[in-house]
C-alpha cells in the first residue's frame, strides 16, 4: 500500500488530494450519522364490495366511498426515512366483479403547493403524483404499479427481481382534479389489466405512495425502509376481495400505417445525387388473449417499427459491437421474465443479418456490393407468460425473421442476389419459481434456428437467489452453457457467477466470482463483450439515509476488480474504484469517483488477432458531477472527468453540460452538450499476413496507431403537452467524432510497440490521412401523438437522418456542421392509427344497444 501511495504521489498528486478529501468526508459523516430505528408494523386494508361501480370522474361523491376503510398515516421514505406525513393522505378501495376502484385524497396547504406539470404517458415531470402497488400473487417479488398526476397523466409499471419496468402498459381508467387545497385521484383497474390466482379469497400485497414535489418528499402507506433490500417485500396487505374471477381477457389492436420515404441515390456512370420517393401502406395487429386466469398470449402480426426513436449512431473504433437501446414497444412491454439472467438482447431480432459480410475478394471476386440492408424484417412475434398459484412463472417468447438479400454487380452490369439472412426462428423459454424471503430459482433457454446451412445456436442457463429470513444476507448466481451447431462441428462454452454478501443495512458488502470460458458465446440472442475471463470483485458500501451536516443522504462505495485470462491463463486487468454521491439540503445532488489502475494490464481484445495483446499503461482517472434542483424552471446537470496515463502525453478529458428549461406546465426544453477528448490514444489500425500463401493465420501482423480522438455531441429535445392525451415532441441530435492518426507502431508478440519499424512482409506505405476518420450522424425525430380513446392512438412522425464519413478531418465545428447538413439525407413521414378493441367492453356495449 505504501508503494502504491508513493507512486500516486509521484505521478498524480491531485488524486492523492482527492482521496484525502473523500476519506475526510467519510470520517465526518461517520461521526455525525445517527440512525433512527423505526419499527412500523405491517399494515392491512380491507376492500369493500359494491354492487354499483362508482363513476370515474375524480369526485368521490358516491356514498359508498364514505363507508370504506381508510388507509392513512403515510410514512416518509425520502429524503428522511421514518417520520409520519404532516399533510394527510386518505385512500379507500372498492371492488366488484369487474375491477377494483381506488379513491385517494391528498391534502395540502394550498393549491400553489400542488405541482402539476403535464407530460406524456409514463413520463414524470415536475409534478406531484399518487401510486398504487399490487402484489396479486403475494410472493413479495412481483407486482404492478399504477400512477396518476394531478394533471391526469397515467403511468404504469411492472416490478420483479429485475427491478422497475415502466415500458409495460395496461389499459385502465383514471381521473384527477383539484378540490380547494387538496387534489383527488380516482382509478379503475380492471381485472383484465392484472393477473391473479383463482382462490375464492384473495390476499394481495398492497402499498400506496404519494410524492409532494414542492418539498421533494415521498411517502408510503406501508413503510419502505431504504436500508432494507427489496421493494415488493416491504408492502402491506389487501384483504376482503372474495369470489372474483379473472375475466375473459381478449383484446385486439389493429393498425394501419402509411409511410413516405425519400432517400438519395446515384445513377450508373454519374456522381450526381438524386432522390427517390417511396410510398408504402401496411397494416397489422397486436392480439392479447388470456389463456386462463394466470397466463396471457401476446402476439404481433406484421409489426411496424418505422416510428420508433432513431438509434444514437456513434463512431466505433473499439473491438466490440455497439449496444443500442431497445425502443420497439413489443420488445419492451412485459419482458421482465425473459430478461432474467441477462441472456436476452432483443436487438438481435430484426438486427444485422448474420451473413452481412460479403467476401468480394475471393468468393465473389469481380463483384461490387450495390445494396446490403443493415436490418432484417420481423414477420411475427409471440409471447406467452404468467404465474401459477404456487409462484411458478412461465414465459415463452418466439419470433420469426424473414430472409434478407444483398445485391451485387460486376463490371458488365450483371447483378446477383446473395442471401445474408436465412429464415430464422428465435425462441426463449423461462421457468421462474418464487421462493420465501425474496428468493427464486430460474431456468432459461434461448434458441436460434436458421434455415439452410447457416449454423444454429442454443443456450441453457440457471439463475438463483437465496436470502435469509430477514433478507439481510443473500447468495445469488447464475450459470450457462452455450452451444453453436455447425455442419461439421459443435462449439461448447460455459460461464458461471457466484455472489454472496450482506444486502441490507447501512453497511453492505459482497464478493463475486465470475468465470467465462474461451468458447462461451451467447451472442446469437444475447450480448457479451469480453469472454474468456475470470473475474474477482470485492465490494464495500456504506449509505447514510438520514440527514447530517449539509446533506440529506450520502452513498459511498469502494471495491476492486481483478481479472485473468481463462485460456491461456494470464493476467488481464486490475482496477480499484470508489464512488461518493449524495443530495444536499437544497436538493442539489453531486458525486465524485476515482478509478486507479496501479499496474500495467494486458488488453487481449484491441489487437483483434488471437494470441496477441497490448500492454496497457498504468493510469488513473477521477471525475465529478453536479445536478441542480429540478423543481426550478431552469436546472443544470454538469459532469467532467480526467484520465492520466503513465505514457508520454496521453490523457483523456470529458465533460458534459445539460441545461433544462420549463417554460410552463406544458412546454419544456432539454439541451445536452458533451465533449470527449482522447489525446495520443493507442488503437488498432490494420493487420496483414506476411505470408498470404500460408494457411496458418496465426502469423498475422498487427499495426496500432497513435491518434487523437475528439467527439462532440449536441442533443436538443422539446415537448409541448396539449393535455394528458395529446402531445408533440422534437428530438434533434448531431454527433461528430474524428480520429486523426499521428504515428503507427508494430505490435510485438510481447505486447510492446515498435515505432517506425515495419515487420518483414509488409509492403504497404502508411499514410496518416488514409486512416483518419471524420464521422457525423445527424437525426431529427418529430412526433405527434393523440390517445383518442383508451389504448387507441394516432401518431404522426417525421424523421430526418444523415450519416457522413470521410478521411478529411475538419478542425472547425461550424464548417463540419455545414458540410454535414449539405450531405445526402434520408427523410420519412409516417401516419399510424392504432385502435384498441376489448372483447368485454364491446360485448357490454352490444348488450345495451
pLDDT digits (tens, 9 = 90+) for 132-141: 999 999 999 9
Mean pLDDT of 695-709: 79
Grid cell 404456487 is found at: 390
Q: How far is CA 368 from each of CA 374, 411, 414, 417, 616, rounded to the nearest angstrom? A: 16, 8, 11, 12, 39
pLDDT score at 14: 46
What contacts 89, CB < 8 A, 6 or more positions away? 72, 74, 104, 105, 106, 107, 130, 208, 210, 219, 221
Cβ neighbour number for residue 685 with a 10 Å cutoff: 20
Would you state the pLDDT for residue 647?
84
Residue 11: its pLDDT value, please?
41
Whether the bond into 275 is cis, omega within 30 of 0: no
Q: What percent of the chain has pLDDT over 90?
A: 74
Confidence of residue 411 (pLDDT cuts 50, 70, 90): confident
Q: Which helix (H) or strand (E) holds 581?
A: strand 570-584
Question: What b-and-e string marks burial along 307-331, b requiring 16 or more CB atoms within 10 Å of the CB?
Answer: bbebeebebebeeeeeeeebebebb
Q: What residues have CB less than 8 Å from 842, skipping those under 6 apart?
A: none
Estimate to the nearest angstrom the gap between the alpha carbon of 666 and the chain centroid.
27
Per-residue pLDDT at 779 exceeds 60? yes
In sequence order, what are the residues at sequence separation of 6 or more whose Cβ sits closer than 8 angstroms to the Cβ of residue 446?
343, 344, 426, 427, 428, 458, 459, 461, 522, 524, 525, 526
- Alpha-carbon distance of 442 to 340, in angstroms, equals 8
CA distance 183 to 197: 34
Question: What is the per-residue DSSP string for 200-219?
Answer: SEEEEEEEEEEEETTTTEEE
Mean pLDDT of 536-546: 96
- Give me the mean pLDDT over the 776-788 stretch: 96
What is the rounded CA–CA span in Å between residue 419 and residue 408?
11
Q: What is the pLDDT of residues 271-303, one digit of tens each?
A: 677 788 889 999 999 999 988 888 899 999 988
Spacing of C-alpha 710 from chain mean position: 26
What's the pLDDT tens digit per position in 468-524? 998 999 999 999 999 999 988 999 999 999 999 999 999 999 999 999 999 999 999
* pLDDT value of residue 695: 57
DSSP designation for 349 = T
Q: pTM, whole model, 2 decimals?
A: 0.90
CB 337 within 8 A of CB 352: no
pLDDT score of 304: 87
Is the link from the previous residue into 752 a cis peptide, with omega within 30 of 0? no
The overall average pLDDT reported for the chain is 90
Nearest to 179 by CA among 245, 241, 110, 116: 110
Buried b (16+ CB within 10 A) or exposed e, 710-749: bbbbbbebbbbbeebbbbbbebbbbbbbbbbbeebbbbee
> What does DSSP say about strands 236-242 and 44-46: parallel, antiparallel, or unpaired?
parallel
Q: Is residue 637 within a helix (H) or strand (E), and if so which, with residue range?
A: strand 634-645
Q: Output the CA torsion sign for 361, 365, 367, 369.
A: negative
3-class secondary structure, 840: helix
Find all residues with CB under 8 Å of 696, minimum gap 6, and list them.
Answer: none
Q: Which helix (H) or strand (E) holds 16?
A: helix 13-32
Q: How far from 431 is each of 343, 385, 458, CA to CA, in Å?
A: 14, 10, 16
* Per-residue pLDDT at 357: 86
Rounded to whole angstroms, the Cα distance separating 788 from 775 reads: 42
- pLDDT tens for residues 100-117? 999 999 999 999 999 999
Strand, helix or coil for residue 330: helix
Q: How many CB atoms lie within 10 A of CB 778?
A: 22
Whether residue 2 has pLDDT greater than 80: no
244 Cβ contact partners less than 8 Å away, ≥ 6 residues apart: 95, 97, 191, 202
DSSP for 420-480, please give it.
EE--EEEEEEEEEEEETTTEEEEEEEEEEEESTTS-EEEEEEEEEEEE-TTS-EEEEEEEE
Summarize pLDDT for 714-761 with one digit per residue, the tens. Answer: 999 999 999 999 999 999 999 999 999 988 898 998 999 988 655 554
Q: Which of 15-29, 275-289, 818-832 has the lowest mean pLDDT?
A: 15-29
Give the C-alpha separation, 509 to 607, whole Å.
36
Q: Give the residue ranges of DSSP H helices in 584-653.
A: none
- pLDDT on residue 648: 80
pLDDT score for 739: 95
Distances (CA, A) of 336 to 332, 432, 440, 509: 9, 11, 14, 26
- What whole-number distance in Å separates Cα of residue 48 and Cα of residue 460? 46
Banded pLDDT at 7 (limits 50, 70, 90): very low
CA distance 730 to 717: 5
Starting at the edge strand that comes first in sequence, how are the strands of the sheet with 99-106 ordered? 48-49, 89-95, 99-106, 182-190, 173-179
Mean pLDDT over 697-711 rounds to 84
Count of CB atoms within 10 A of residue 581's CB? 17
Report pLDDT digits (tens) over 615-650: 999 999 999 999 999 999 999 999 999 999 998 889
* Beta strands in 43-88, from DSSP E residues, in sequence order: 44-46, 48-49, 75-78
The reported pLDDT for the residue numbered 18 is: 45
Task: Give the model's confidence band at 672: pLDDT under 50 very low, under 70 low, under 90 confident, else very high.
Answer: very high
Q: What is the pLDDT of residues 151-201, one digit of tens each?
A: 999 999 999 988 898 888 899 999 999 999 999 999 999 999 999 988 999
Give the single-character DSSP code of 84. B
Handedness of CA 108, 110, 113, 116 (dihedral sign): positive
The distance from CA 176 to its chain's CA centroid, rounded to whole angstroms, is 31
For the stretch 550-600, pLDDT in tens is 999 999 999 999 999 999 999 999 999 999 999 999 999 999 999 999 999
Name the pLDDT band for 268 (thresholds 50, 70, 90).
low
Question: Is pLDDT at 404 greater than 90 in this prediction?
Answer: yes
Of 302-311, 511-520, 787-796, the least confident = 302-311
Region 325-351 average pLDDT: 90
**What's the confidence (pLDDT) of residue 622?**
97
Residue 224 is predicted with a pLDDT of: 96
Q: What percent of the chain has pLDDT over 70?
A: 92
Looking at residue 248, what is its pLDDT? 87
Amino acid at each position: 500500500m505504501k508503494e502504491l501511495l508513493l507512486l500516486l504521489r509521484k505521478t498524480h498528486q491531485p488524486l492523492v488530494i482527492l482521496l484525502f478529501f473523500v476519506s475526510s468526508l467519510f470520517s465526518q459523516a461517520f461521526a455525525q450519522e445517527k440512525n433512527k430505528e423505526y419499527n412500523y408494523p405491517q399494515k392491512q386494508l380491507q376492500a369493500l364490495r359494491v354492487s354499483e361501480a362508482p363513476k370515474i370522474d375524480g369526485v368521490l361523491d358516491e356514498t359508498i366511498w364514505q363507508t370504506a376503510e381508510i388507509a392513512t398515516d403515510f410514512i416518509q421514505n425520502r429524503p428522511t426515512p421514518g417520520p409520519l406525513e404532516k399533510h394527510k393522505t386518505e385512500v379507500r378501495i372498492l371492488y366488484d366483479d369487474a375491477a377494483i376502484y381506488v379513491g385517494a385524497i391528498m391534502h395540502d396547504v394550498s393549491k400553489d403547493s400542488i405541482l402539476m406539470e403535464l407530460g406524456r404517458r409514463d413520463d414524470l415531470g415536475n409534478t406531484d403524483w399518487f401510486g398504487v402497488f399490487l402484489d396479486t400473487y403475494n410472493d413479495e417479488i412481483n407486482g404492478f404499479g399504477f400512477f396518476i398526476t394531478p394533471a391526469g397523466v397515467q403511468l404504469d409499471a411492472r416490478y420483479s427481481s429485475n427491478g422497475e419496468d415502466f415500458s409495460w402498459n395496461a389499459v385502465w381508467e383514471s381521473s384527477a382534479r383539484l378540490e380547494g387545497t387538496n387534489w383527488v385521484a380516482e382509478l379503475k383497474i380492471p381485472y383484465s389489466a392484472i393477473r391473479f390466482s383463482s382462490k375464492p379469497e384473495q390476499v394481495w400485497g398492497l402499498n400506496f405512495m404519494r410524492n409532494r414535489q414542492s418539498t421533494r418528499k415521498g411517502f408510503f402507506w406501508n413503510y419502505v425502509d431504504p436500508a432494507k433490500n427489496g421493494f415488493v417485500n416491504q408492502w402491506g396487505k389487501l384483504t376482503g376481495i372474495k369470489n372474483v374471477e379473472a375475466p375473459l381477457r381478449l383484446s385486439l389492436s389493429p393498425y394501419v400505417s402509411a409511410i413516405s420515404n425519400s432517400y438519395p441515390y446515384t445513377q450508373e456512370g454519374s456522381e450526381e445525387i438524386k432522390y427517390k420517393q417511396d410510398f408504402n401502406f401496411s397494416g397489422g395487429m397486436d392480439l392479447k388473449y388470456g389463456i386462463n386466469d394466470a397466463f396471457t398470449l401476446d402476439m404481433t402480426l406484421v409489426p411496424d417499427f418505422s416510428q420508433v426513436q432513431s438509434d444514437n449512431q456513434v463512431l466505433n473504433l473499439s473491438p466490440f459491437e455497439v449496444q443500442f437501446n431497445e425502443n420497439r414497444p413489443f420488445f419492451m412491454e412485459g419482458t421482465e421474465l425473459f430478461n432474467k439472467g441477462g441472456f436476452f438482447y432483443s436487438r438481435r431480432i430484426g438486427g444485422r443479418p448474420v451473413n452481412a459480410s460479403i467476401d468480394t475478394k475471393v468468393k465473389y471476386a469481380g463483384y461490387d456490393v450495390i445494396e446490403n440492408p443493415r436490418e432484417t424484417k420481423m414477420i411475427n412475434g409471440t409471447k406467452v407468460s404468467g404465474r401459477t398459484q404456487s409462484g411458478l412463472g412461465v414465459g415463452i417468447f418466439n419470433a420469426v425473421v424473414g430472409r434478407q438479400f444483398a445485391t451485387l454487380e460486376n463490371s458488365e452490369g450483371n447483378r446477383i442476389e446473395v442471401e445474408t439472412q436465412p429464415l430464422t426462428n428465435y425462441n426463449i423459454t423461462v421457468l421462474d419459481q418464487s421462493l420465501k424471503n425474496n428468493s427464486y430459482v430460474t431456468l432459461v433457454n434461448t434458441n436460434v434456428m436458421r434455415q439452410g446451412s447457416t449454423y444454429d445456436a442454443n443456450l441453457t442457463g440457471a439463475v438463483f437467489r437465496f436470502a435469509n429470513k430477514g433478507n439481510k444476507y443473500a447468495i445469488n448466481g447464475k450459470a450457462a452453457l452455450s452451444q453453436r451447431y455447425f455442419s461439421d462441428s459443435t462449439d461448447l462454452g460455459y460461464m458461471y457467477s457466484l455472489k454472496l454478501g450482506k444486502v441490507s443495512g447501512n453497511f453492505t458488502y459482497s464478493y463475486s466470482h465470475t468465470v467465462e470460458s474461451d468458447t462461451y458465446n451467447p451472442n446469437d440472442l444475447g450480448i457479451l463483450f469480453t469472454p474468456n475471463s475470470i473475474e474477482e470483485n470485492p465490494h464495500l458500501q456504506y449509505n447514510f439515509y438520514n440527514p447530517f451536516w449539509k446533506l440529506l443522504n450520502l452513498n459511498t462505495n469502494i471495491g476492486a476488480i481483478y481479472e485473468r485470462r481463462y485460456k491461456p491463463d494470464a493476467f488481464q486487468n486490475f482496477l480499484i474504484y470508489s464512488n461518493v454521491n449524495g443530495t444536499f439540503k437544497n436538493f442539489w445532488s453531486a458525486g465524485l469517483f476515482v478509478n486507479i489502475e496501479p499496474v500495467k494490464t494486458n488488453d487481449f481484445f484491441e489487437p483483434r488477432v488471437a494470441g496477441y495483446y497490448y500492454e496497457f499503461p498504468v493510469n488513473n482517472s477521477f471525475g465529478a458531477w453536479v445536478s441542480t434542483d429540478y423543481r426550478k424552471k431552469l436546472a443544470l446537470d454538469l459532469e467532467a472527468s480526467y484520465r492520466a496515463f503513465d505514457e508520454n502525453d496521453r490523457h483523456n478529458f470529458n465533460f458534459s453540460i445539460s441545461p433544462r428549461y420549463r417554460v410552463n406546465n406544458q412546454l419544456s426544453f432539454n439541451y445536452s452538450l458533451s465533449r470527449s477528448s482522447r489525446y495520443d490514444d493507442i488503437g488498432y489500425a490494420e493487420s496483414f499476413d506476411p505470408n498470404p500463401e500460408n494457411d496458418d493465420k496465426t502469423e498475422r501482423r498487427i499495426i496500432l496507431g497513435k491518434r487523437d480522438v475528439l467527439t462532440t455531441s449536441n442533443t436538443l429535445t422539446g415537448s409541448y403537452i396539449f393535455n394528458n392525451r395529446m402531445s408533440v415532441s422534437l428530438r434533434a441530435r448531431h454527433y461528430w467524432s474524428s480520429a486523426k492518426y499521428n504515428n503507427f507502431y508494430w505490435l510485438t508478440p510481447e505486447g510492446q510497440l515498435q515505432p517506425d519499424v515495419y515487420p518483414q512482409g509488409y509492403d504497404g506505405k502508411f499514410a496518416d490521412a488514409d486512416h483518419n476518420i471524420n464521422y457525423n450522424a445527424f437525426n431529427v425525430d418529430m412526433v405527434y401523438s393523440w390517445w383518442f380513446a383508451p389504448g387507441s392512438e394516432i401518431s404522426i412522425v417525421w424523421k430526418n437522418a444523415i450519416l457522413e464519413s470521410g478521411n478529411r478531418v475538419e478542425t472547425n465545428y461550424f464548417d463540419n456542421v455545414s458540410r454535414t447538413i449539405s450531405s445526402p439525407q434520408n427523410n420519412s413521414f409516417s401516419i399510424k392509427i392504432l385502435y384498441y378493441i376489448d372483447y368485454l367492453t364491446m360485448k357490454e356495449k352490444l348488450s345495451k344497444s
